[in-house]
Amino acid sequence: MRKCRPTRACSSTIAMAAESACNPLEGIAAFSVHTAPFPALRYRKGTAAMAEAFDFVAIGSGTAAQVAVHRMADAGKRCAIIDYRPYGGTCALRGCDPKKMMVSGEEALAAYRRMKGKGIEGSVSIDWADLQAFKRSFTDPVPEKQEARYERKGVEALHGAARFAGPDRIAVGGRELCFSHALIATGAEPRPLGIEGELLLIHSDAFLELDTLPDRIVFVGGGYIAAEFAHLAARAGAKVTIVQRGRILKAFDPDTVDWLMPSFDDLGIEIVDAEVNGVAKRGGVLTVHAGDRRIEGDLVVHAAGRVPAIGSLELGAGDVACDEGRLVLTAQLRSQSNPKVFAAGDAAANGPPLTPVSSHDAKVVVENILEDSGRAPNYCGVPSALFTEPPAARVGMLESEAHEAGLDFTVNAGSHPGWFSARRLNEEIYGHKVLVETGTGRILGAHLVGPDADELINIFGFAIRHGLNADDIKSTMFAYPTAASDAGSMLG
């Protein structure tokens, strides 16, 4: 364990990353990207040398920071929140919410194509510009709405790059804030790839802001981001390639992924099993070097994982320990080296990188500050969904994990495109794998793919979190015919 302070080289990388985030397509003149204006830095004249006292200061403005600040303010605490980007965080502005807005267009087009000739006729396609406008109708008002809510609660909403100036001090612009407790909720950022031409890649947030869709797109990495954006881009008319060493979607059950793969084939998405060695640019063409392959594209997107965004915080000045890019925390999400400082969400990297986890972490932090309860977060039964078309989802253990844990269990699995939930939509992909512990009937894990998998997984997540067994689900009378009514049949 060591206390870490960004080196000069690290700080330079951070600066370049920030510049890239502001204009990630600089030098790629053929395509434009929408960027919201950054609010001007706010500070009070004459306060540079005088620290202002706050009960609670949050760095970041995403889900974790929002939940924590509002709860602390409701408890009567003087709070401040700081972000160098427009308020809202990744989920609301650059991640799950805008992505799902875009996926709505993909879902509509996929439904049309499945039902064409079965009572549905005509021609339908995605208009990328109109789809972007629809998405922005949600994202553009978010920062102003959030700041107005903070103002109503008396929360100081500050703009600028925050850094620790002492164990109980944070500097931003010309101000210095003295805190009783602070929360690091800065989220995550794309992990460094360490390859030649890395700065030629754009990140996922820039992809979601493309005003026009390039003809050829290469995704480096094969996880959630690559799969979801590849489906969206391919259905919108782009030629898409995913470069990933080994199988894609490693976080998901292998059989579930195998059942999903025909959807990639149908969209013409090429998956290259290779490691990316570098990216070069000549004229307006980008070339990805992957093993012995040379893959040309008009745009290359970083989709190879994310790491906590903590490099610019000057943690050493705050006596906040980190180890290999991760904060060193107690089970209660408190810094081991500075008890005034907590972390939550992707910055804490303690649980799955999901919005509900960020919210849960924030509630745990606030309880530990206000009540000194010693509570630790509980991530049991947290589901995750892959918003391809059709979607896939998982909760609990993988089959391999259950075997490694030495558990005795049965596997209820199968591909069932003939089940009514798939048949009525003319969808050929519909499968499940549910792990049930022998003797107790405890549900160990569930893995789904097909229509409404992203909704149906919540039933299994609820069961796992609250200790319901297989018989509890099988004896429940769900509305029929709905996706939920398949849950009992998935348990054998």
Q: Which residues are annotated as a binding site for NAD(+)?
A: 221-228, 305
Pairing status of strand 79-83 against strand 51-59: parallel
User: Which residues belong to the annotated binding site for FAD?
Assistant: 100, 346
CA distances from 339 to 73, 320, 346 (A): 20, 9, 20
Given a contact cutoff of 8 angstroms between Cβ atoms, the answer to whether 326 and 335 are in contact is no
Strand stretches in 358-469, DSSP E: 384-386, 392-396, 409-415, 431-437, 443-449
Nearest to 171 by CA among 320, 78, 52: 52
Q: Do 304 and 190 touch, CB atoms closer than 8 A?
A: yes
241 membership: H or E segment, kind and range: strand 239-243
Cα angle 196, 202, 205 (rounded to 5 degrees) comes to: 150
Cα angle at 136 between 303 and 173, to 5 degrees? 75
CA 86 to each of CA 133, 224, 277, 394: distance values in angstroms, whole numbers, following the listed order: 18, 25, 34, 32
What is the phi-psi region of residue 220: left when phi exceeds 0, alpha when psi lies from -120 to 50, beta otherwise? beta
Helix (H, G, I), strand (E, B) or coil at 253: coil
**CA nearest neighbour of 200 among 269, 292, 312, 284:** 284
What are the distances in angstroms from CA 191 to CA 61, 175, 307? 21, 31, 5
The rounded distance, in Å, linking the Cα atoms of 151 and 153 is 5
List, as residue ranges, the binding site: 100, 221-228, 305, 346
| Tokens, residue 332 | 């209660």
Please count the residues of the chain. Answer: 492
Instruction: Give the span between the Cα atoms of 152 and 139, in whole angstroms.
Output: 21
Q: Six-digit token pair at 112?
A: 């049309």
Helices (H), 140-236: 142-152, 204-207, 224-235
Residue among 421, 419, 473 at smallest CA distance from 443: 473
Look at strands 175-184 and 51-59 and give their pairing: parallel
CA-wise closest residue to 410 among 358, 454, 362, 445: 445
In angstroms, rounded to a whole number, what is the distance separating the alpha carbons of residues 151 and 318?
28
User: What is the 8-class DSSP label of residue 287?
Assistant: E
